Amino acid sequence: MELDVSILSRLQFAFTVSFHIIFPSITIGLATLIAIWEGLWLKTGNPQYLQLAKFWIKPFAITFGMGVVSGIVLSYEFGTNFSKFSEMAGAVIGPLMAYEVLTAFFLEAGFLGVMLFGWQRVSAKMHFFATVTVAVGTWISAFWIIAANSWMQTPQGHQFVDGKFEVVSWMEVIFNPSMPYRFFHMLLAAFITATFVVMATHAWYLRKGQHIDFGRKGLSMTLWIALVLTPLQAWVGDLHGLNVKEHQPVKLAAMEGIWAEKEANVPLLLFALPDMKAEKNHYEVAVPGLASLILTHSWDGELQGLKSVPAADRPNVPMVFFSFRVMVGIGMLMIGVALLGAYLRWRGTLYQSNWFLWPVSFMAPTGIIAVLAGWYVVEIGRQPWIIYGLVRTSEVVSPLPAERVLFSLTLFVLTYSLLFGVYLYFMRKLIKKGPAPVDHLQQQRIGVKASGYALSFTKTLATDAETSNSPATDPKGAN
Amino acid sequence: MELELSVSLFYLLLLGFAILMYVLLDGFDLGMGILYPWFNSDAEHDHLMRSVAHVWDGNETWLVFGGVILFGAFPAAYAAIASTFYLPIVLMLIGLIFRGVAFEYRFKSDTSKKYWNTAFAIGSSLAAFCQGLMLGTLVQGVPADFIDQSSFSWLSPFSLFCGLAVMAGYALLACCYLVMKSRGELQHKAARYGQRLLLIVMLSMLLVSLWTVWIEPQIRVRWFGGWHALWLIPLPLLSVLAARLLFRDLGRVNRCHQAETAVQQRHEARPFWLAATLFLLAFVGLLISVFPYLLPRQLTYLEAAAPDSSLMFMLPGIFIFLPLICAYTLWGYKIFAGKIEDYQEGY
């Protein structure tokens, strides 16, 4: 088989970016949760919140580290593997990424050190500020990278000069038609992903009968959050779908499995096997008219189908079709869990219902799978275009010898597989170890803001004095 | 060579600033990994890693910043450089990945600690070596057919030597940083290694300078062709002076240890600044040699510059956020000032 450098470069980018997105999806939400817990701890003085924050900061740290190292790869991969794209669209994408680095990456990195290691070096309020800054940094970062991605999906505000894109209006480029929907959809997805990672862990503790108070607090909070966010996400997702219908009708046709050039009264396919050669679906299981109703708000609304464009301009239909169903399926499951949890809470049996806790404790990866599936819909669905309707992906790869890309792809696959195993191992290890006891956390806080050589000495003294009296419960007393 | 004040020139200087910041900051941080094999006990390794654990992420961000400034302001150069240096970049990234995750996993490991030690040492060294390799190639210039990216133009005796020289330079920065961050036997060791590395670095700088002047007629003309060369004489002179002072300061630290007296605080901090000055001077020398090229003899910064609409758009962001970034980065270093062993840190 002849090696095709275009396929290899695309595979490598798909692989490295898929690996990367796992980690920010968790850290965006987890940073926010940790900031909330720390804020609640400062406000109420309830050490349980400190315990939550200090426990989850460890999984957060390793996840963040994985996100950083896999992210640096991407910032160079545009140039290494898609040099023609970089040259052509660099004037649009580059500045957006420069703003991402200026307003988000440095901010996150600058305050992460204080957030992780600064517990004894700054005041509790300053530490909270650092945590909030890291969280906000993750949102800002998402904003810019989604703006860049969305411009490639629904480009506007540019002109084409000498074979290169030039920006006419930055407002139009940044706030392009799909950007707001994609941004809120992704931000919510990240919050939900982290919520389910936390929820599953706390359900696991309860099921095992370990760290009961800790387990309950976390489960209770995350179920409340899921109850609000998951239905909201369904609504935002629906709006996003309408936006796709408007601006990328062929992608929508692939998502829904619509072949005819124009179709009215379109059924909602629960299952089907799309066949790209025969240009039709096999084994359809459908609800008549429902897709039309959802997407046009009328039973006999018309939708554009795949055959409205030549076969060369269509994406890989089965991959888009199934990815979309995986994402929606997981979304529905999450809404179900949130509602069931609320019902059990109302009945007062939430923490005893092992039949509920047991499946929930396996739901940690569901958010990540949904995020990946969602991004496959976005990214495979827009093919063969890299800049929708304007530039084809196959035209902009670097003219590298295929063997070299095969070598780097192999290297990335080996490295990332190894690291992913290691990541799971350490996540498991941290979770099995469980949180530090509440009174131990109180002791650690002695010595806050002190500095200099005498610190460790006074710390030991103060800790001894503290434990011989009574374990302090007021964290402000430690200052 | 005419120097026209333009917004592209500003971006060229900004790119230089980003690279210099990266080299200085990630330099001492990668240098820890390069020095790693010369420290043997677990406690020493702990100390080395803990002295940079809170800043490595921020330091590496300068690499991303350099990359995106190149991407946004000089897209043609970003495309050409990144795809020409495909293999060194990929290897550098793999190195950075292994040494980056080692920070997180080493402190949480029991049985696998030795693997993370290896990952940190080899990853850091590989990344530094690849950076030196690319630097060497850039100075030496790539052949006219660099578009044919099957070339291995980055592989030459000169570029390999530059790879090793950059490793020595980073290790020197790390030694100077360690002098600030430790006391006792470790500080003594760092100062001793620092002196030796300084000699290696100075020799390498001399050799690289002579080599470039010898192989590149254009660079020779720039440094020795005419009266303007007089303006350049301070550069090598100041370098020698900085090196002399650095050697003396490190020696003082050593003598204090032998005499078992306390090291004065200014002698602990000054080596790092002197080493940084040395790097700054070398970097300015490099810029003089390659200006106005981004990809020497192939692509100048003016040819590669993005349209004004993009350059102007980034300006407010740079003027507002870059000072802020410098401020809070400094604040971060201030918070963690002092010796590592005085804090029982962790999270």
pLDDT in tens, A258-281: 888 888 778 888 888 888 888 888
Percentage of the residues of chain B whose pLDDT score is greater than 90: 42
Higher pLDDT, A447 or A339: A339
Distance from CA of B95 to the nearest CA of A (A): 10
Q: Pull the structure tokens for residue A377.
A: 């819909």
**Whole-angstrom distance, CA of residue A102 vs CA of residue B75:** 18
Pair A105, A148 in one domain: yes
Is this structure's pTM higher than 0.95? no
Q: For residue A34, what are its two tokens?
A: 């940790």
B318 in contact with chain A, both atoms CB, cutoff 8 A: yes
Query: What is the per-residue pLDDT for A467?
Result: 45
Secondary structure of residue A58 in the 3-state scheme: helix
Q: What is the mean pLDDT of chain B?
A: 86
Contacts of A426 in chain B (CB under 8 A): 104-105, 108-109
Cβ of B329 and A106 within 8 Å? Answer: yes
Q: Which residue has the tokens 């961050």?
A: B181
Instruction: Please report the pLDDT score of residue A476 as a whole number.
Output: 36
Q: Which of A 94-153 lie inside 8 A of B, CB atoms? A: 94-103, 105-122
Q: How many CB atoms lie within 10 A of CB B205?
A: 21
Instruction: Give the closest of A61, A170, A412 to B104, CB-based.
Output: A61
Q: Find all residues with CB under 8 Å of A7, minimum gap 6, and list them.
A: none
Burial (0-12, 13-18, 19+ Cβ within 10 Å), B317? middle
Residue A310 within a domain: no
The whole-chain average pLDDT of chain A stands at: 86
3-class DSSP state of A278: coil
Note whether B79 and A86 are within 8 A (CB). yes
Q: How confident is the model at residue B5, as a pLDDT? A: 67
Of the two residues B143 and A382, the one the predictor is more confident about is: A382
**A356 and A474, same domain (yes or no):** no
Q: Is residue B344 part of a domain?
A: no
Distance CA A64, CA A97 (A): 19
Name the DSSP class of A428.
H
Same domain, A45 and A80: yes
Give which of A235, A264, A354, A250 is closest to A307, Cα–Cα: A250
Residues A121 and A250 in one domain: yes
Residue position matching structure tokens 């595979």? A11
Confirm whether A271 is domain-assigned: no
- Please tell me the distance from the alpha carbon of residue A173 to that of residue A152, in angstroms, as a whole number: 10
ipTM metric: 0.89
**Torsions phi, psi for A197 (to 5 deg):** -60, -45
Residues A448, A324 share a domain? no
Domain membership of residue A133 (yes or no) is yes
CA distance A396 to B83: 12
Q: What is the interface size between A and B, counted as CB pairs within 8 Å?
A: 248
Nearest to B125 by CA among B86, B170, B60: B170
Q: Does residue A5 sit in helix, strand or coil?
A: helix
Partner B contacted by A166 (CB < 8 A): yes
Q: Do residues A395 and A449 share a domain?
A: no
Strands of A342-394 (E only): list them. Answer: 385-387, 391-392
Contact map slice: B 287-306 vs A, CB within 8 A = 306
Nearest to A142 by CA among A233, A270, A23, A292: A23
Q: How far apart (Å, rounded) are the C-alpha atoms in residues B294 and B80?
A: 10
On chain B, the residues whose CB falls within 8 A of the CB of A170 are 309, 313
Whole-angstrom CA distances from A144 to A98, A120, A218 are 9, 34, 31
Q: Which domain holds residue A452?
A: 442-478
CB of A73 within 8 Å of a chain B CB? The answer is: yes
- A393 vs A384: CA distance, rounded Å: 6
Residue A363: inside a domain: yes
Q: State the Cα–Cα distance between residues A141 and A469, nearest whole angstrom.
A: 47
Tell whether A119 and A199 lie within a shared domain. Answer: yes
Closest CA to B89 of A412, A123, A8, A140: A412
Which two three-digit tokens encode residue A393?
């992906």
Q: How many residues does chain A have?
A: 479
Question: So what's the pLDDT on residue A442?
Answer: 66
Q: CB-side exposure of B346: number of CA atoms within 13 Å?
A: 12
Pick A118's closest partner by Cβ from B72, B309, B335.
Answer: B335
For residue B347, being part of any structural domain is answered with no
Q: Do A131 and A86 belong to one domain?
A: yes
Q: Is residue B343 scored above 80 in pLDDT? A: no
Q: Residue B62 and residue B278: Cα distance in Å, rounded? A: 20
Q: Would you state the pLDDT for residue B4?
A: 61
Check whether A39 has a pLDDT greater than 60: yes
Residue A412 and residue A341 share a domain: yes
Cis peptide before A384 (omega within 30 of 0): yes
Band (pLDDT 50/70/90 cuts) for residue B121 is very high
Q: Which residues 57-96 of B have a C-beta within 8 angstroms of A?
A: 57-58, 60-61, 63-65, 67-69, 71-73, 75-76, 78-83, 85-87, 89-90, 93-94, 96
Q: What is the pLDDT of residue B289?
A: 84
- Residue A22 pLDDT exceeds 90: yes
CB contact under 8 A, A404 and B87: yes
Q: pLDDT at position A451, please?
A: 43
Residue type, B147: I
Number of domains in chain B: 1
Q: Cβ separation of A86 and B75 shorter than 8 Å? A: yes
Q: What one-letter code names the amino acid at A260? A: A
Lowest-pLDDT choice from A176-185, B38-47, B165-174, B274-283: B38-47
The CA-CA-CA angle for residues A48, A139, A233, to 5°, reads 80
Lowest-pLDDT choice from B93-107, B127-141, B212-226: B212-226
Asked if A188 and A178 touch (Cβ cutoff 8 Å), the reply is no
Tell if the CB–CB gap between B101 and A92 is shorter than 8 Å: no
| Among B8, B30, B69, B90, the residue to mutate for chain A (most A Cβ within 10 A) | B90
Rg (CA), chain B: 21
A414 and A375, same structural domain? yes
Q: Is residue A126 pLDDT above 70, yes or no?
A: yes
Residue A276 located in a structural domain? no
pLDDT for B47: 86
- Decide if B216 contacts B140 (C-beta within 8 A): yes
Query: Which sign, positive or negative, has the C-alpha torsion A230, A232, A235, A237?
Result: negative
Instruction: Pick the residue of B263, B310, B324, B344 with the most A CBs within 10 A to test the interface with A by mutation.
Output: B310
Asked if residue B343 belongs to a domain, the reply is: no
Residue A469 and residue A388 share a domain: no
Token code pair at residue B331: 């604040």
Query: Is there a contact between A448 and A123 (Cβ–Cβ < 8 Å)?
Result: yes
**Cα B289 from Cα B210, distance rounded (Å):** 12
Look at residue A471 and tell me if it is in a domain.
Answer: yes
A222 with A364, same domain: the answer is yes
Number of structural domains, chain A? Answer: 2
Question: Which residues are paired to A303 by β-bridges?
Answer: A263
Q: Is residue A322 part of a domain?
A: yes
For B52, list phi and psi in degrees, rounded to 5: -125, 0
Element (H, E) at A303: strand A302-304
Domain span holding position B83: 7-337
What 3 state SS string does chain B have?
A: CCCCCCHHHHHHHHHHHHHHHHHHHHHHHHHHHHHHHHCCCHHHHHHHHHCCCCCHHHHHHHHHHHHHHHHHHCHHHHHHHHHHCHHHHHHHHHHHHHHHHHHHHHCCCCCCHHHHHHHHHHHHHHHHHHHHHHHHHHHHCCCCCCCCCCCCCCCCHHHHHHHHHHHHHHHHHHHHHHHHHCCHHHHHHHHHHHHHHHHHHHHHHHHHHHHHHHHCHHHHHHHHCCHHHHHHCHHHHHHHHHHHHHHHHHHHHHHHHHCCCCCCHHHHHHHHHHHHHHHHHHHHHHHHHHCCEEECCCEEHHHHCCCHHHHHHHHHHHHHHHHHHHHHHHHHHHHCCCCHHHCCCCC
Point out the residue among A69, A87, A452 whose CB comes nearest to the CB of B101.
A69
Section A319-344 average pLDDT: 93
State whether residue B52 sits within 8 Å of chain A by CB: no
Residue (of B182, B236, B216, B232) closest to B44 by Cα position:
B182
Cα–Cα distances (Å) from B238 to A211, B16, B20, B69, B200, in that order, read: 63, 20, 18, 30, 18
Please, are residues B138 and B295 in contact by the beta-carbon 8 Å criterion?
yes
| Residue B98 counted as domain residue | yes
In one-letter notation, the amino acid at residue B101 is V
Query: Which bin fits B338, alpha (ψ -120 to 50), beta or left (φ > 0)?
Result: left
Q: Kindly state whether A336 is in contact with chain B, defined as any CB-CB distance less than 8 angstroms.
A: no
pLDDT band at A479 (very low <50, low <70, confident <90, very high): very low
* Token couple for A266: 């379109």
Residue A183 lies in a domain: yes
